[in-house]
Amino acid sequence: MLAFRRRAEIANPIFFFVLVVTLFPLGVGAQAKLLQAMAPGVIWVSALLAAMLSLDSLFRSDFDDGSLEQMLLSAHPVSVLVLGKIIAHWLVTGVPLILIAPLLAVFLGLPDTALGTLMITLVLGTPVLSLIGSIGVALTLGLRRGGMILSLLVLPLYIPVLIFASNAVEMAATGMAVSAQINILMAIMFLALVLAPLPAAAALKMSIN
Amino acid sequence: MENRHYQLQVQRLSCIRDDRVLFSELAFSLKQRQMLLLEGKNGSGKTSLLRILCGFREADEGQVLWCGQEIAHSDYYAKMAYVGHLDGIKKELTVTENLKMALALGKQGRMTIDEALDKVHLQGYDDTLVQSLSAGQKRRLSLARLLITDNILWILDEPFTSLDKQGIQLFESVMSEHIEQDGMIILTSHHDLSLPAVDLQTINLSSCH
């Protein structure tokens, strides 16, 4: 299942991510203190937008060329196939974001103490973005211009992840304990992992109609 | 496995689209070694009927039964294959990779990938990207997909589109072979079939009100 997609536009979301984060210092000016204070929020907001940008590629090409029909007709449970697609999507969009994030954190002068927390929140958070996003994409697949509705559908569901993750990084930067936020993020991740593929599969069946 | 007899039954099926009755009270049954040809004008509901048979659409009335059970609750999806207007082929992948993907979704049938490619005269194209194949060659590739997986019922929507004369002959010979090997086929076509040895039923949807 993971060989399912290759040569996709992997570069696009990372490029966007890097671009937004590097543009911030230019826009705000060289105020080290301010940048440092904003860093967790900036990195997380950009990661979230980059993830949303890449969501459409999750099922779109399969929908257009009919592979999705073949997937739905196979004897395997659709939710498992969907989970496979989501994991593949996370590997090509989420993992590169995680890998490049420390570099950007150093750009913005995030304290070293917060770096580990940033990585943990990204590792826990980006899968959630792909999982929740899959439901939104599956729902809007049949619409010709689903982009706007997709963001309206998905963004409110992303906000808890954003709040807890950037809060955790901020706390870590000031040297406080962050286990509470990490635990909540972990809970959200596992909940989404178990629950998201089912509605996504059901929504795909509706979209193909 | 072969001592079980498979049968597809359709009972009192009707389909309404945009307040227009496409067909109503449609009933037929198809056994192994039988073939069903759907005819009708453009827009008479041929594709809609096939999509109902695949379970993509819900029928407005009536039932589709596989061996006496509703298709969603039987082993129907393990025994059927569908080739629609969209080929269900990834154009970024090579010919062999596409067939391997089909195998991952289904069960290995009576032909290996190489044998099937020989059969549809695509030998030598194994490592070609599907992007660079012609429309007719893509059709042949979908035919190869039918051959490598283990199916009883083939549902084909306009299988002869964009095939040349030889391609049509090839497709017909493959279809009659499939029928001889206890298969069944439902297809829509504007071509006149020249399959004398096959037990053929014809339904004309234009006269089905």
Residue A3 lies in a domain: no
What is the number of structural domains in chain A? 1
Partner-chain contact B88 A67, CB within 8 Å: yes
Q: Looking at beta carbons, which residues of chain A come within 8 Å of B82? A: 69-70, 73
What is the pTM assigned to this prediction?
A: 0.83
Please state, in angstroms and rounded to a whole number, the distance separating the CA atoms of residues B127 and A79. Answer: 31
Q: Specify the pLDDT at position A188.
A: 92
Is the pLDDT at B208 greater than 70? The verdict is: no
Partner-chain contact A3 B77, CB within 8 Å: no
Three-state SS string across B22-54, please?
A: EEEEEEEEEECCEEEEEECCCCCCHHHHHHHHH
Q: Specify the pLDDT at position A2.
A: 47
Average pLDDT of adjacent 10-residue blocks, chain A of 209 residues: 53 84 83 83 90 83 81 82 88 87 86 87 92 90 80 90 90 84 91 91 84
Structural domain including A152 reads 8-58+65-207
Residue A37 lies in a domain: yes
CB contacts < 8 Å between A and B, how many? 60
Q: Specify the pLDDT at position B59.
A: 78
Q: CA of B105 to nearest chain A CA: how many angstroms apart? A: 6
ipTM comes to: 0.77
Q: Specify the pLDDT at position A124.
A: 92
Residue A1 lies in a domain: no
Partner-chain contact B102 A209, CB within 8 Å: no
State whether residue A6 sits within 8 Å of chain B by CB.
yes
Phi, psi of B129 (to 5 degrees): -70, 140
Region of B15 please: left (phi>0), alpha (psi -120 to 50) or beta. beta
- Smallest CA-to-CA distance from B166 within B129, B127, B128, B139 is with B139
CB count in 10 Å sphere of residue B72 = 10
Partner-chain contact B77 A75, CB within 8 Å: yes
Residues in B lying within 8 Å of A, measured between beta carbons: 54-58, 75, 77-78, 80-82, 84-93, 97, 101-102, 104-107
Residue A72 lies in a domain: yes
Q: Looking at beta carbons, which residues of chain B come within 8 Å of A65? A: 86-91
Q: Taking residues B55-64, report their average pLDDT.
A: 81
Q: Specify the pLDDT at position A127.
A: 92
**Domains in chain B: boundaries:** 7-207
Strand B61-66, strand B7-17: pairing: antiparallel
State whether residue A9 sits within 8 Å of chain B by CB.
no
Partner-chain contact B54 A7, CB within 8 Å: no
B59, closest residue in chain A (CA to CA): A209
State whether residue A70 sits within 8 Å of chain B by CB.
yes
Phi, psi of B62 (to 5 degrees): 95, 180
Q: Which CATH class is domain B7-207?
A: alpha beta
Q: Specify the pLDDT at position A189.
A: 92
Residue with tokens 């304990």: A177
Q: Which of A12-21, B8-17, B52-61, B198-207 has the lowest mean pLDDT?
A: B198-207
Q: Specify the pLDDT at position B2.
A: 47
State whether residue A7 sits within 8 Å of chain B by CB.
yes
Phi, psi of B7 (to 5 degrees): -150, 140
- Smallest CA-to-CA distance from B138 within B175, B98, B184 is with B98
